[in-house]
Chain A
Amino acid sequence: MDLPKNLAAALAAADEGYLTGLCNKGTVNRAKKDLAALPPPEVRPEGDGVEVRMGDTVCLIRAPLGESRCSCPSSGICRHRITAILWLKEQAGGPPEPEEKGPDFGALRAYPTEKLVKQLGAKRLSAVLFRHRSGTGPKMTERSVVTVELPWLPATVRLLEPLAHSTCTCHSRQFCVHKAEALLFWQLKEGVARPEALEEEETFGEGWDAAQVRGIAQSVEQTLAAQLATGLSRLSPGVCETVERMASLCHTARLPNLERALRSLHGEYAAYFARSATYRDTALLARLARAFRLARGLEGAGEEEIRKLAGVFREEYEPVGHLRLYLLGLRELSVRGGYRGTVYYFWEREERTFYTFSDLRPTFYQNGEGSARRPEAAAPWGLPCTLRQAWNCALDLTGAKATRGGNLSSTGTCAAVLSGRLPPGKVFPPEEIDTDFSALLEKKSAPHSPERDRLAVIRPAACEPQAYDRVRQVFSLRLLDGAGRDLWVEVGYKKTEAGVVEQLEGLARQLEEGTVRRPVFFGVLYREAGRLKLYPIEYFTRWQEAL
């Protein structure tokens, strides 16, 4: 049979995998059965294709095969078209020789990566990059089509040429987000897309209207400068509302860093007008200065600089795979702005780093903190008990998600398997315990660094309990390292800290009696009043022994 050249080539190249890619395996199997029972159809040339008449159905088969038409109502590639294609393949010269070398998928390579990135968005792009980096990406097979299995969606995509004829198990006729994700994975595997370039794109996302940003920045600068000109003693309480309004403007303009700076300033102004005992001029000036400087930076910034200065609203949770955690400690927290709850601190045994889980609830809907209902204890990830009960237990998380700052998500897709209770000394590596306070000062106590970077497990050479400071209402414990350098454990007495102070007083008694020699402390480092200090989250008197 004489077929147009293009069509003959397309038929020769289309193996079963390609035909499955055009529709699905079921349709191809049905077409094979139909072919076996088919009487010889009528065939005639029609333009650049061939018209095949099978009973009441007429198909126009042309190259590329995905653009073939059929008289049946089906809008997709139907079994009639596949039957006609299979018959034409037989007529064109029997089954083709299997190709040693597959197609080079030029159309897949040529598809612009930027378009894929834009279609996926920042969140999906992060997930793709994580899976690519960690080797937990999709299973991909290549023959005449590229089959990509994305089990986490779930979806299976068949990419073929031309790309418009690719199929997805979501049945979308368009170039859906699953196809975009599959194609990006393939491009990363083939080296067409570079992870480094995509990582830059990941942090940037949508652009800003530079004129709008400039306008808002100028407005913030002028407002704050006017407040400095007037003077705090002459400002009316209405300044709080002014700052709050500016923060809202920044939120709308997607400038979260400036929004947060203004909300912090709002907090200080509110404390000033409320005559709060904790208010300090230096703190207000610092927050005002920060907001002003940030606005000034945004005013003159180009697009790339705006991206860096604008910040992010909320850290996204990204998949982090399988985590082998140990719950080292927990801390009750009351946050300015009306949140209260517990933060749980985990040690990841393979990565050798800390993760946290925050269980904080708002108190501002209740009648003051004193009357807040006790919240239910957290039991995420399908745990058979509360996290509090899992203290000092090992647990394995599969499908975990966390922010870049190491805060774990309570997502339902993550499952935990709880092991038994273990003494921390059996889990925490001895080389990770800090004994040199000079190294702590240098590496783990930088002001304004994230709390995660200031967490430390410390074994002092000696502990010296101090008398309770009745003037400052502070409990202190002086720790010394082997070189005589000191580090101060300090807890200011507040209602919320009463339990902590009581426990530390018990420790101090044990130290004085000599029943405890070298406890291990876990806490957050900071610098204050010329001293290196530690806020204690936990202390352990039996580090290696079973509890």
Chain B
Amino acid sequence: MRELLDDMALLLTDLLQSGMDTGGPSAVPRLRRLAVRCEDVGLHTGGALLTGLAEALDARSHTVTKDDLPAAALLCRAARYVSLCRERLEEEDIRAGWQSAAHPTGEQEQGGA
């Protein structure tokens, strides 16, 4: 799931850099693929957001007079969603680290410089 969140963050920051005008159309297939991965791991809200963003970017690319607001709103919500998921994962990672330190499974222990 961490990898999925990293990929989502990367896609959103790529969109930030390239812009919805230029990078929007090429981001649509990536968004759809990530949305499927989100559904597979149970991140249904994330999947819905990415699907919505893909549709908004797709619809936007076929219009002459572009309405930036719907796609921008979804992009911002998706960014916030990724941030919240990471915060939640952080807490779980900390507990998992404590758990594995308490019951090492033969893998290298976490911690140490």
Q: Does A107 contact B (CB under 8 A)?
A: no
Distance of A484 Cα from B21 Cα, bound (Å): 52
Q: Does A486 contact B (CB under 8 A)?
A: yes
Instruction: Bin the interface of chain A by size.
Output: 35 or more
Q: B111 → chain A, closest Cβ, in Å?
A: 6
> Contact at B69–A221, with CB atoms within 8 Å?
yes
> Contact at B87–A281, with CB atoms within 8 Å?
no
For chain A residues 302-327, which have a beta carbon within 8 Å of chain B? none
For chain B residues 7-45, which have a beta carbon within 8 Å of chain A? 9, 12-13, 15-23
Chain A residue nearest in CB terms to B113: A466
Q: Does B72 contact A (CB under 8 A)?
A: yes
Q: B19 → chain A, closest Cβ, in Å?
A: 2
Chain B residue nearest in CB terms to A288: B76
> Contact at B87–A229, with CB atoms within 8 Å?
no
Q: Which of A169-177, A183-191, A231-239 contacts B (4 or more CB under 8 A)?
A: A231-239
Q: A351 → chain B, closest Cβ, in Å?
A: 29
From A231, A437, A467, A478, give the contact of B16 (CB < 8 A).
A231
Q: Does B112 contact A (CB under 8 A)?
A: yes
Q: B53 → chain A, closest Cβ, in Å?
A: 11
Chain A residue nearest in CB terms to B81: A289
Distance of A437 Cα from B72 Cα, bound (Å): 41
Q: A230 → chain B, closest Cβ, in Å?
A: 5
Distance of A6 Cα from B109 Cα, bound (Å): 93
From B66, B68, B80, B94, give the contact of A441 (CB < 8 A).
B94
From B72, B90, B102, B112, give the contact of A478 (CB < 8 A).
B112
> Contact at A286–B19, with CB atoms within 8 Å?
no
Q: Which of A373-381, A394-402, A526-534 contacts B (4 or more CB under 8 A)?
A: A526-534
Distance of A296 Cα from B98 Cα, bound (Å): 41
> Contact at A527–B21, with CB atoms within 8 Å?
no
Chain A residue nearest in CB terms to B9: A282
Measured between beta carbons, the chain A residues less than 8 angstroms from B80 are: 286, 289-290, 293
Q: A84 → chain B, closest Cβ, in Å?
A: 76
From B20, B68, B73, give the contact of A296 (CB < 8 A).
B73
Measured between beta carbons, the chain A residues less than 8 angstroms from B48 are: none
Chain B residue nearest in CB terms to A224: B72
> Contact at A530–B90, with CB atoms within 8 Å?
yes
> Contact at B91–A285, with CB atoms within 8 Å?
no
Classify the interface of chain A: helix, strand, loop or mixed: helix
B9, B69, B93 — most chain A CB neighbours (10 Å): B69
> Contact at B16–A530, with CB atoms within 8 Å?
no
Q: Does A483 contact B (CB under 8 A)?
A: yes
The interface size of chain B toward A, counting residues with CB under 8 Å, comes to 38
> Contact at B90–A226, with CB atoms within 8 Å?
no
Given contacts A229-B66, A292-B73, contact A281 B16 (CB under 8 A): yes
Measured between beta carbons, the chain B residues less than 8 angstroms from A486 are: 97-98, 101, 111
Measured between beta carbons, the chain A residues less than 8 angstroms from B110 are: 530
Q: A467 → chain B, closest Cβ, in Å?
A: 5
Measured between beta carbons, the chain B residues less than 8 angstroms from A484 are: 98, 101-102
Q: Does A469 contact B (CB under 8 A)?
A: yes
From A281, A476, A530, give the contact of B17 (CB < 8 A).
A281
Given contacts A233-B19, A478-B111, contact A531 B97 (CB under 8 A): yes
Chain B residue nearest in CB terms to A488: B111
For chain B residues 47-76, which have a beta carbon within 8 Å of chain A? 66, 68-69, 71-73, 75-76
> Contact at B87–A447, with CB atoms within 8 Å?
yes
Measured between beta carbons, the chain B residues less than 8 angstroms from A230 are: 19, 21
> Contact at B79–A286, with CB atoms within 8 Å?
yes
Measured between beta carbons, the chain B residues less than 8 angstroms from A222 are: 68-69
Q: A256 → chain B, closest Cβ, in Å?
A: 20
Measured between beta carbons, the chain B residues less than 8 angstroms from A485 are: 98, 101-102
Q: A325 → chain B, closest Cβ, in Å?
A: 33
| CB 8 Å contact bits of A220-252 with B (1 = contact, 0 = none) | 011011101111111000000000000000000
Given contacts A289-B80, A486-B111, contact A229 B98 (CB under 8 A): no
> Contact at A231–B18, with CB atoms within 8 Å?
yes
For chain A residues 186-240, which have a beta carbon within 8 Å of chain B? 221-222, 224-226, 228-234
Distance of A530 Cα from B83 Cα, bound (Å): 14
> Contact at A231–B23, with CB atoms within 8 Å?
yes
Q: Does A22 contact B (CB under 8 A)?
A: no
Q: Does A284 contact B (CB under 8 A)?
A: yes
From A233, A292, A530, give the contact of B72 (CB < 8 A).
A292
Q: B109 → chain A, closest Cβ, in Å?
A: 10
Q: Does A541 contact B (CB under 8 A)?
A: no
Q: Does A510 contact B (CB under 8 A)?
A: no
Measured between beta carbons, the chain B residues less than 8 angstroms from A282 are: 9, 13
> Contact at B20–A229, with CB atoms within 8 Å?
yes
> Contact at A284–B16, with CB atoms within 8 Å?
yes
From A231, A288, A292, A296, give the contact of B21 (CB < 8 A).
A231
Measured between beta carbons, the chain A residues less than 8 angstroms from B68 are: 222, 225-226, 228-229
- Give me 9 other A-B pairs in contact (C-beta within 8 A), A225-B71, A289-B76, A531-B97 excluded: A221-B72, A224-B72, A225-B68, A230-B19, A232-B19, A288-B76, A441-B91, A485-B101, A485-B102
Interface residues of chain B, those whose CB is within 8 Å of chain A, are 9, 12-13, 15-23, 66, 68-69, 71-73, 75-77, 79-80, 83, 87, 90-91, 93-95, 97-98, 101-102, 110-113
18 residue pairs from A and B, CB less than 8 Å apart: A222-B68, A228-B72, A229-B19, A229-B21, A229-B68, A231-B15, A231-B16, A231-B23, A233-B17, A234-B22, A292-B76, A438-B95, A447-B90, A484-B98, A485-B101, A486-B98, A528-B90, A531-B97
User: Lowest 7 CB-CB distances: which A-B pairs, in order?
Assistant: A231-B19, A225-B72, A225-B68, A530-B93, A289-B76, A466-B113, A281-B13
